[in-house]
Structure 1
Amino acid sequence: MLRIVGLFVFFVVSSGFYVANEECPTNEEYLLCGSSCPYNCTNPPEKVVCAQECIEGCFCVAGYLRNETGNCVLAEECLKAGNTPMCEENEEFMSCGSACPATCSQPEPLECSLACSIGCFCKSGYYRDDATNKCVTLDKCSIKPCTKENEVFDMCNAGCQPSCKDPDPVCTKVCSSGCVCSPGLLRSADKACVSVEKCPSNGTYTGPLSKYLNAINKILHLSYV
């Protein structure tokens, strides 16, 4: 059998490249499980709906897109070529936007360790509505109905709720929307919203009722013994 030494064989698979010897062209990286529908200069991220399984091959590294000739170029080069993606209302195209963008359910995301993303992002002061996928101001966010008894929807305090275990939690400034217990009620171990007297107590002065009163008295600048 004739063997050709050093033959570099590859073929194109859905804009990604399968490479026999795992060597990739410039500005590309080899992935064992990359997207089978990778976006490119003429196919912005928001227009790609991919339900296919991942594939193995070479893909453009972060910040690069595949152009019409099959090369991976900086996203800015796509824009210079007149391939500016059409973003929706209150959106703007970014070649390196946050991979953890602000949303209605998470207006103040935690520090994001993921690489930046390419695509359309909400403009400053707007948030991605989880229900409609539109960019809106916080007051226009869709309010999800709270189905459990004694719960109300809160735009910012769902991530740090008073509970029977900790009636006076120390909260960070991170804002998170969701269903919380109605004012005056605490979250029990079984996730129900109950009055403080229904919280289990260990029979000492450190029980939930005492902690709850201490929290109130701290606000009133009183002392509780």
Structure 2
Amino acid sequence: MHREVFMLLLIGITFVGAQSQGRKRKCRPNEEFLRAYYPRHDVFCKPWLALPSELNKLHWCVCKQGYVRNAWGTCINMTACLSCKDKPFQDFNHCGSKCPLECGKPIQKECAYGCTTGCACAPGNVLHPYDNKTCVPGYLCPPQCPRFSSFQICTPVCEATCDRPEPRECRTKCHNGKCVCLPRFVKAVWKEEEYCVPPFACPREEGMEEPPPSPPFSF
């Protein structure tokens, strides 16, 4: 009896150890595997700017000593963190977009490939309309969205479309923000352009000559 219990315990320890090693191999740069029985929350440079989904995430891989997470959940060193301490609504990002969101301006559909390094508008924030080195909350001064759409930080991962006007079991994801169709409108595609239209205006034939009654925009 005691031998059987010992063998089961040994198998359990081996299984947990194998799982731990598997998790350890998945750690990203500047992270290290947490040697503990349970995952934990990590330390952030500016926790008030981080998305709740990142801030509340439990980690088996935590930032190494001398590193903290930025608003996007990436580990950065303290020098980088402190470089943005006097810039409200900004955090340090090693790979920021070359086409950041701007207050009152349309979201760029095509953006140059690559990253910009430095202080950048944290998720949900956009560049000031008159000072491109300052950021403001997106809900106070959102980018310009086309007709029948609005700027949202948290959006469903499966948007309503002409093909699927009522998607089911759709979770919401928070990110930098984008233009999404208003309630009771769906996304339509015509000649590789995307529109927000009421369901009755969805194109019924692929070869239709007239576009839906809404200007195109980038989602």
TM-score bin, normalised by smaller chain = 0.3 to 0.5
TM-score (norm 2): 0.44
Please say which structure displays the higher CA radius of gyration: 1
Q: Give the helix-richer structure, 1 or 2.
A: 2
